[in-house]
Amino acid sequence: MTLAAGLTLLAVWSFYYLFVRCGRRGGKSARRYAPVVGTVLHQLYHVRRLHDYHTDLFRERKTFQLLTPSARRQFYTCDPAVVEHILRKNFANYGKGNFNYENMRDILGDGIFAVDGDKWRQQRKIASNDFSTRALRDSSSAVFKRNAAKLAGIVSTNAASKQPMDFQSLVRNATMDSIFTIAFGLDLDTLGGSAEGTRFTASVDDASEFAMLRYINPFWKVMKLLHVGVEGTLKERIEVVNEFVYKRIRTRAQELSNAKAQDSDSRQQDILSRFMEATTNESGTVDYKYLRDMILGIVIAGKDTTAGALAWFFYMACKHPEVQEKICHEVTEATNAGEAASVDEFAQSLTDEALNKMHYLHAALSETLRLYPSLPLNNKQCFSDDVLPDGSSVSKGDIVFYVPYSMGRMEYLWGKDAEVFRPERWLNENGEFQPENPFKFTAFQAGPRICLGKDFAYRQMKIFAAVLLHFFAFRLRDGQNAVVNYRTMLTLHVEHGLHLTATAR
């Protein structure tokens, strides 16, 4: 079906919906809905600039709806009061629901990012316990430092040869190697060029893109049934991902079983082992499918969000060279590192105490996430009829999207310079970092669903940024005026890679 034909059908349906079905509601006429500004098929037309399309609409109104070819309405909001309502004040009435579960089931299954209820609470509890332990914090920091130093070695080679590099691919591989080691206890070595690891990482990226298209393509179920287009390719990518993950799960289960049989200490620091221990039932049975869903969600979240944020951070740092210099100066002071320190020695100097002194770096990362949030579009499904703080009525089954990408660009939230990259907006008069209202700065969600990996992500980004900016100055390959676009995925990545050159300091 062509886009034109689809728009024609949706126009006919919209006429029926607005003038026939709504006219029959009689007693429900008192319900007030957010204004309709278009259809979901307009999003398909604007797919390559989807988030900017939403931003254009939000400049006219804080909350609106797009017509869909179903009884389920789709509301979009940039209003912090509405965001707080669905994420905190009326938390129990909004969740992922069937809408998200159907869209994400093939890739995330019953993992924490796709489910509600008991499964969500169980996984949230396990993950919360893991991410709050000193052992995981120390072991993950060691992994971050090791991979930051490894990445610096690759950058050094490119700098010496004066060759540009696809920096986004490098940080994607580095963050994948990091989270895979933390999750599975194995080095995936995509930074070293592992063909198997590279294939797995590329399949995860493609699956993320094709799953995102389900949110704006009302015909995806038909395409899946016919096994055509991106739905056919999605199935192939998921098969690659599943084969890879199940192989690692079976290997770890066997290792733990052998250790138990030999009466040796089977405790492991990786997340998979702890998930396996926490979900093994009384008969000793482990649900491999459930483990796959839980651990894959952690891997995707840990890789995609941090890799995207670091790529956009270095893009903005190249657009603003003075930011690089300020961070380099701050990092040097915070670590007391001498000029003669090697990369490995410097990485080891990045203690929690030193990282906590890097207020400007923390501000620059937050400013990047304000303009380029790792998850640019998020939503919750309404479980029972409700009224939003702005007076808009929401019915059971409706979807409420909040849009971090657009929120970061709203002048009524951030002032006239909302679209200007200015880390100083996060610092007080003493140069100390000041957090913002989480319902205004929604990069990590908020309320009971606030991201458990927030501190984990900041620590990794600060370690990588500190190591690289201490030893190198970066610039865009095509000059300071280069403009890049985003790839329309679940998470926000540069569309065709980020090509930088580096110079040793």
Low-confidence stretches of the chain (pLDDT < 50) are 1-3, 10, 12, 15-27
Using an 8 Å Cβ cutoff, are 501 and 474 in contact? yes
Q: What does the alpha-carbon distance between residue 49 and residue 47 come to, in Å, rounded to a whole number?
A: 5
Is 22 known to sit in a ligand binding site?
A: no
pLDDT of residue 25: 44
Domains of the chain: 3-504 (1.10.630.10)
DSSP state of 435: P
State the CB neighbour count (10 A cutoff) for residue 384. 12
Tokens of 245: 């993950």
What SS3 state is found at 386? strand
Only one residue has tokens 């399309």, namely 53
Nearest to 456 by CA among 229, 192, 131, 167: 131
CA distance 404 to 465: 23
pLDDT at 31: 83
3-class secondary structure, 310 = helix
How far is the C-alpha of 404 from the C-alpha of 378, rounded, in Å? Answer: 8
Give the integer Cα–Cα distance in Å for 368 and 457. 13
pLDDT for 9: 52
- Answer yes or no: are the C-beta atoms of 116 and 110 closer than 8 Å: no
Report CA dihedral (132, 135, 140, 146) to the nearest 10 degrees. 160
3-state secondary structure 195-227: HHHHHHHHHHHHHHHHHHHCCCCCCHHHHHHHC
- Residues 6+ positions from 445 with CB-CB distance below 8 Å: 87, 378, 438, 451
Distance CA 107, CA 224 (A): 14
* Strand (E) or helix (H) holding 76: strand 74-77
Nearest to 54 by CA among 72, 74, 81, 71: 74
Contact between residue 405 and residue 49 where contact means Cβ atoms under 8 Å apart: no
Q: Of 20, 7, 58, 17, which Cα lies nearest the Cα of 401?
A: 58
Nearest to 157 by CA among 478, 505, 504: 504
pTM value? 0.90
Q: What is the pLDDT of residue 23?
A: 41
DSSP-derived 3-state class of residue 73: coil
Helical segments of 342-399, H only: 343-348, 352-356, 359-371
**What are the tokens at 502?**
């580096």
228-264 pLDDT, tens digit per residue, is 999 999 999 999 999 999 999 999 888 888 877 766 5
List residues bridging with 487 in a β-sheet: 493
Distance CA 67, CA 398 (A): 11
Order of all β-strands in the sheet with 499-504: 165-166, 499-504, 472-476
SS (H, E, C) 244-293: HHHHHHHHHHHHHHHHHHCCCCCCCCCHHHHHHHHHCCCCCCCCHHHHHH
* Confidence (pLDDT) at 284: 67
Would you say 464 and 128 are in contact if contact means Cβ atoms under 8 Å apart? Answer: no
Q: 340: which residues sit within 8 A by CB, 6+ positions away?
A: none
Compute the radius of gyration of the chain from its Cα atoms: 23
